[in-house]
Amino acid sequence: MATEIVSYGMAGFKQGRERVAYFAYWKTHTALYGTSREFIDTHAAELKPYVQSKGTLQFPVGKPLPYGLVTKIVKDRVAEIESAG
């Protein structure tokens, strides 16, 4: 079960000792940190509209947050953590 945490001034979730995801709101975007390169590569077409960098996705302010995509990212990250055991 994931627990809520605050680290580096960002809200996030942790499962056991592993970070699941962190969120931060900036002037021009909301950032999701903790996305694996494998997830980004696998879902490249779906993620194309968003700015990406190593482990980070940026969702522009003023546009609806893609909740389905965020849910998929978090579930995938939890599965990665669980499979690493």
How confident is the model over 65-83, as pLDDT tens digits?
999 999 998 898 899 888 9
DSSP codes, 14-66: EETTEEEEEEEE-SSEEEEE---HHHHHHTHHHHTTSEEETTEEEEETTS---
**pLDDT surpasses 90 at 35:** no
Domain ranges of the chain: 23-84
- Report residue 28: phi and psi, to 5°: -110, -5
Helix (H) or strand (E) holding 7: strand 2-7
How confident is the model over 9-32, as pLDDT tens digits?
999 999 988 889 999 999 999 999
DSSP, collapsed to helix, strand or coil, labels residue 8 as coil
**pLDDT of amino acid 11:** 94
